[in-house]
């Protein structure tokens, strides 16, 4: 864990938010807040127009905003009914914020979080009776929100456990998209190379749609032996066909029981999710711990960071083909956000 450069990290953990900064001896992390306020599942969002403004959500206390790069935080929950935050996205064209919660719903803000409006139509879908959660009390959660570069009104979401959802009018109305995709939704992504293509990551691998989510088909070529997706599904605008996630050989119920743990790897696609290659270069063999947070630097599509269940953080300098450990000793790292140094 030697010298590094270039990017500050916001690390959401099971117990607090950490700021990690690079230096001559590597990364150093310090707690910046939220200890004892529930875990972080959604990555911190850096405002698209104001880089000192950050948005963070906890699983117990709702949404918070910082105007000073994380030094101080204010609660911004006006209109948010469900305080367990699982996903946050911001439209860079308008600044509109979308927040996904547990129980599953979407809350929208057009004024940087001052006020939020619930997407009431989502909870009225007839398919909600099929939504559940993986652990007691079995409440579903919206784990991922994806916006598209080409269509400012298209919004997609992945529900654990409840397939996927889609809005084509900016969140006013929603529909369930469940044709051919697994029930255990983990992530969703749309690449700018093919705006009609939607890729969903699930508990049973990858699924791909070529008609904006109306129909999905399995897309697991290259993932043999590892189908459970444990991290977000992440792309980069400068490499339109690139997608990355982490995959494991078994689900969470087996990670702590098996000697090989998750037997984790990173799954990379360069063709918009049609095919995948897995890599474990630089990781322990087998990789017992499991990647949970995953992010890429906006200004460098080769620089990736992954946060692990064992409290370590790993970095790739070569487009996620290999990784090196840059931090250790943290609580379980569930989300990663990459900012400029």
- List the CATH number of the domain containing 257: 2.130.10.10
Residue 54: strand pairing partners: 46, 66
Rounded CA gap, 58 and 41, in Å? 7
299 and 242 within one domain: yes
In a domain, 19, yes or no: no
Same domain, 133 and 60: yes
Percent of the chain residues past pLDDT 70, beyond the cut: 98
Residue 13 lies in a domain: no
- Compute the chain's Rg from CA coordinates: 18
Verify that 194 and 285 share a domain, yes or no.
no
Q: Are residues 242 and 297 in the same domain?
A: yes
Question: Using CA atoms, how far apart are residues 295 and 147, in angstroms rounded to an integer?
Answer: 16
The secondary element (H helix, E strand) that includes residue 253 is helix 252-255
**Residue 212 sits in the same domain as residue 250:** no
Using CB atoms within 10 A of its CB, is residue 140 exposed (0-12), middle (13-18) or buried (19+)?
buried
How sure is the predictor about 187, in pLDDT bands with cuts at 50, 70 and 90?
very high
**pLDDT at site 193:** 83
The answer to whether the beta carbons of residues 98 and 82 sit under 8 Å apart is no
Tell me what pLDDT residue 9 has.
98
| Nearest C-alpha neighbor of 143 from the set 168, 129, 163, 169 | 163
Distance of alpha carbon 315 from alpha carbon 210, whole angstroms: 32
Q: Is residue 269 part of a domain?
A: yes
Residues 169 and 228 in one domain: no
Per-residue pLDDT tens for 84-103? 999 999 999 999 999 999 99
In this structure, the answer to whether residues 212 and 229 fall within a common structural domain is no
Per-residue pLDDT, 284:
96
Query: What pLDDT, in 10s, does the model give residues 295-337?
Result: 999 999 999 999 999 999 999 999 999 999 999 999 999 999 9
> What are the C-alpha distances in Å from 299 to residues 55, 56, 71, 152, 294?
20, 22, 24, 23, 16
Please, what is the Cα angle at 161 between 237 and 266, to 5 degrees? 45
Do 235 and 92 share a domain, yes or no? no
Please answer whether residues 206 and 200 qualify as being in contact, where contact means their C-beta atoms are separated by less than 8 angstroms. Answer: yes
In this prediction, residue 306 carries a pLDDT of: 99
Give yes or no: residues 67 and 80 share one domain. yes
Is 230 inside a domain boundary?
A: yes
DSSP track, 239-254? EEEEEEEEEESS-HHH
Q: Which two tokens stand for residue 283?
A: 């990781």
d(CA 119, CA 117): 7
Q: Is 26 among the domain residues? A: no
pLDDT for the residue 25: 83
State how far the Cα of 34 lies from the Cα of 42, in Å rounded to an integer.
14
- Enclosing domain of residue 130: 37-219
Q: Same structural domain for residues 233 and 197?
A: no
Looking at 196, 219, 242, the residue that finishes a domain is 219
With beta carbons less than 8 A apart as the criterion, state whether 320 and 305 touch.
Answer: no
The predicted-structure confidence for 188-225, as pLDDT tens digits, reads as follows 999 888 889 999 999 999 999 999 999 999 999 999 89
Report the residue count for the chain.
341
Give the domain-ending residue among 184, 204, 219. Answer: 219
Token look-up 């997609």 returns 156
Rounded Cα–Cα distance for residues 210 and 29 (Å): 42
Identify whether residues 211 and 227 lie together within a single domain: no
């Amino acid at each position: 864990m030697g010298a590094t450069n270039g990017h500050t990290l916001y690390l959401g953990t099971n117990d607090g938010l950490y700021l990690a900064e690079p230096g001559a001896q590597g990364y150093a992390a310090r707690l910046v807040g939220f200890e004892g306020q529930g875990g972080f599942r959604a990555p911190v969002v850096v405002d698209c127009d104001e880089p000192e403004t950050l948005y963070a959500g906890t699983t117990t206390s709702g949404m918070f905003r910082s105007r000073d790069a994380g030094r101080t935080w204010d609660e911004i929950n006006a209109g948010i009914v469900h305080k367990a935050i699982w996903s946050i996205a911001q439209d860079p064209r308008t600044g509109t914020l979308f927040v996904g919660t547990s129980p599953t719903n979407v809350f929208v803000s057009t004024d940087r979080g001052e006020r939020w409006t619930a997407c009431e139509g989502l909870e009225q879908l007839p398919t909600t009776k099929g939504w559940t959660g993986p652990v007691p009390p079995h409440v579903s959660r919206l784990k991922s929100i994806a916006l598209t570069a080409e269509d400012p009104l298209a919004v997609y979401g992945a529900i654990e456990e409840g397939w996927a959802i889609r809005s084509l009018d900016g969140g006013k109305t929603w529909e369930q998209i469940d044709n051919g995709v697994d029930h255990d939704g983990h992530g969703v992504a749309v690449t700018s190379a093919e705006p009609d293509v939607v890729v969903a990551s699930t508990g049973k691998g990858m699924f791909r749609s070529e008609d904006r989510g109306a129909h999905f088909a399995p897309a697991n070529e290259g993932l043999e032996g590892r189908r459970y997706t444990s991290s977000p599904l992440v792309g980069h605008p400068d490499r339109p066909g690139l997608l990355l996630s982490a995959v494991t050989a078994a689900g969470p119920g087996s990670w702590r029981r098996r000697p090989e743990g998750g037997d984790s790897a990173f799954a990379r696609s360069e063709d918009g999710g049609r095919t995948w290659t897995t890599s474990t270069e630089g990781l322990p063999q087998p990789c017992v711990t499991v990647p949970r947070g995953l992010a890429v630097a906006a200004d460098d599509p080769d620089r990736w960071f992954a946060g692990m269940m064992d409290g370590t953080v790993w970095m790739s300098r070569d487009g996620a083909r290999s990784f090196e450990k840059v931090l250790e000793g943290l609580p379980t790292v569930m989300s990663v956000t990459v900012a400029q140094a």
